[in-house]
């Protein structure tokens, strides 16, 4: 597509454009960063009886091109503040932001054109139709009339039949689809989704993640926030956790998961288990509904074999066995609680 702001080469068009960072078979991006955040702080000014609020205490973060990157953190951590700074909706107090290589302060138009943001809060004019809204948005980004993809985008988010309905007549889930459509109008190489699946039904959730995967496969860098950690675990190559406006950790999803040392071994006995079972030292036993025995152990201390031996020694015949892996939720809770214990929130 012709770009109004002189975007650099390598910006993907919707549905697969010239940027084929993932099509060269290497699977990952172009070795450059989509986003570079350095020393970014934000203090919201005092308003009414509310004192000033430091929402970001100094964030350094780089997000590689071509990745699906999860920005996680508890309520009020500063995720939306950071995303809204990237989108140009919130003005940072200090620090620097580069988007697709463009400094946000020196090249504001290019950096804005390189990013599409689906905000957490719907910002849809209720008196417009979806078709008109996308047209206005395309106009704002200078997409020439002949190159607008209104119908294609509406079809992509499943809103073709609502093109001419008033936005105020759309359901909540349809409004979220429309927000995604708006973010895609200028075919940005970076798509940011701020809690896209909060309160939406299963069908929309699957539709959203399906579209996100397709866009990513076509080269779009995806940044998302979600409180559904199983979604982040499934979708994200890399994850940053922020808490009280600071970066707690940033790593690949698999590296984060491997930091959790505890595992649970589930053993289903053949028949009723005896009331006393001697588990190896340091292993917790929890009896699950249906009779399964859940042994939680530290991998560094105990092996599953030790537990199985102990179970057999207690006279139990084993019918079934399974291991419950660590989940991102465990990593998240471990890290955020550790920080809360160190420095309780004000
Ligand atoms: N416009 C504003 N004026 C003053 N304070 C604000 C404003 N927007 C956000 N805050 C405060 O900044 C902090 C970070 O808010 P932010 O919305 O960035 O959090 P979040 O991580 O997105 O949380 P959530 O998971 O609930 O969406 C919070 O303490 C919030 O109350
Ligand atoms: Mg938020």
Q: H/E/C letters for each residue in 115-128? A: EEEECCCCCCCCCC
* End-to-end alpha carbon distance in the chain: 49
In terms of pLDDT, which residue wins out, 111 or 198? 111
- CATH 3.40.50.300 describes domain 33-257: yes
Q: What is this structure's pTM?
A: 0.83
Element at 335 (helix H, strand E): helix 328-342
167 token code pair = 């936005």
Q: At what angle do helices 202-217 and 172-184 cross, to 10 degrees?
A: 10
Atom of ligand 1 nearest to the CA of 81: 18
Ligand that comes closest to the CA of residue 76: 1
Ligand 1 site residues (CB inside 6 A) read: 44, 53, 55, 73, 75-81, 120
pLDDT in tens, 187-234: 999 999 999 988 788 888 998 899 999 999 999 999 999 999 989 999
The answer to whether residue 338 scores a pLDDT higher than 60 is yes
Distance from the alpha carbon of residue 7 to the mean position of ligand 2, in angstroms:
29
* Polymer length in residues for the chain: 346
The answer to whether residue 344 scores a pLDDT higher than 90 is no
Percent of the chain past pLDDT 70, that is, above it, reads 90
pLDDT at 345: 54
Q: Are 119 and 179 in contact (CB under 8 A)?
A: yes
User: Cα separation of 221 and 212, whole Å?
Assistant: 10
169 token code pair = 């007549």
Atom 6 of ligand 1, nearest CA residue = 44
Query: What are the residue ranges of helices labelled H in 218-318?
Result: 229-235, 253-258, 304-313
Give the closest residue to 101 by CA, choosing from 186, 234, 8, 217. 8
In terms of pLDDT, which residue wins out, 51 or 346? 51
User: Cα separation of 195 and 203, whole Å?
Assistant: 16
The answer to whether residue 346 scores a pLDDT higher than 70 is no
Q: Which of 42, 48, 73, 76 to mutate to test the pocket of ligand 1 (most atoms within 8 A of CB)?
A: 76
pLDDT in tens, 53-89: 999 999 999 999 999 999 999 999 999 999 999 999 9
- CATH 3.30.70.250 describes domain 261-325: yes
- Domain limits, the chain: 33-257, 261-325
Q: Which of 40, 71, 78, 120 to mutate to test the pocket of ligand 1 (most atoms within 8 A of CB)?
A: 78
* Average pLDDT in the chain: 87
């Amino acid at each position: 597509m012709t770009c109004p702001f002189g975007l650099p080469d390598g910006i993907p068009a919707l549905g697969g454009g010239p940027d084929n960072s993932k099509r060269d078979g290497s699977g990952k991006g172009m070795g450059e960063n989509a986003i570079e955040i350095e020393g970014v702080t934000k203090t919201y000014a005092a308003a009414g009886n509310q004192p000033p609020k430091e929402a970001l205490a100094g964030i350094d973060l780089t997000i590689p091109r071509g990745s699906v990157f999860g920005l996680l953190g508890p309520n009020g951590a500063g995720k939306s503040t950071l995303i809204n700074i990237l989108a140009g909706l919130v003005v940072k107090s200090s620090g620097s932001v580069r988007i697709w290589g463009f400094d946000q302060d020196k090249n504001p138009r290019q950096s804005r054109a390189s990013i599409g943001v689906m905000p957490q809060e719907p910002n849809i004019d209720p008196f417009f139709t979806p078709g008109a809204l996308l047209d206005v948005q395309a106009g704002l980004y200078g997409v020439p009339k002949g190159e607008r993809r209104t119908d294609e985008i509406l079809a992509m988010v499943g809103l073709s039949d609502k093109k001419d309905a008033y936005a105020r007549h759309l359901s909540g889930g349809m409004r979220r689809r429309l927000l995604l459509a708006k973010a895609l109008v200028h075919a940005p190489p970076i798509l940011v989704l701020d809690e896209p699946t909060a309160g939406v039904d299963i069908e929309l959730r699957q539709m959203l993640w399906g579209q996100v995967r397709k866009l990513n496969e076509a080269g779009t860098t995806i940044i998302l926030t979600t409180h559904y950690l199983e979604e982040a675990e499934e979708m994200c190559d890399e994850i940053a956790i922020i808490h009280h406006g600071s970066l707690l950790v940033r790593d690949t999803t698999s590296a984060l998961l491997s930091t959790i040392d505890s595992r649970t071994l589930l053993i289903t006995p053949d028949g009723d288990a005896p009331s006393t079972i001697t588990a190896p030292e340091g292993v917790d036993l929890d009896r699950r509904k249906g009779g399964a025995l859940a042994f939680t152990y530290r991998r560094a201390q105990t092996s599953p074999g030790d537990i199985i031996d102990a179970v057999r020694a207690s006279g139990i015949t084993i019918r079934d066995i399974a291991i419950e892996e660590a989940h991102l939720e465990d990593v998240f809770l471990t890290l955020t609680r550790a920080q809360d214990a160190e420095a309780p929130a004000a």
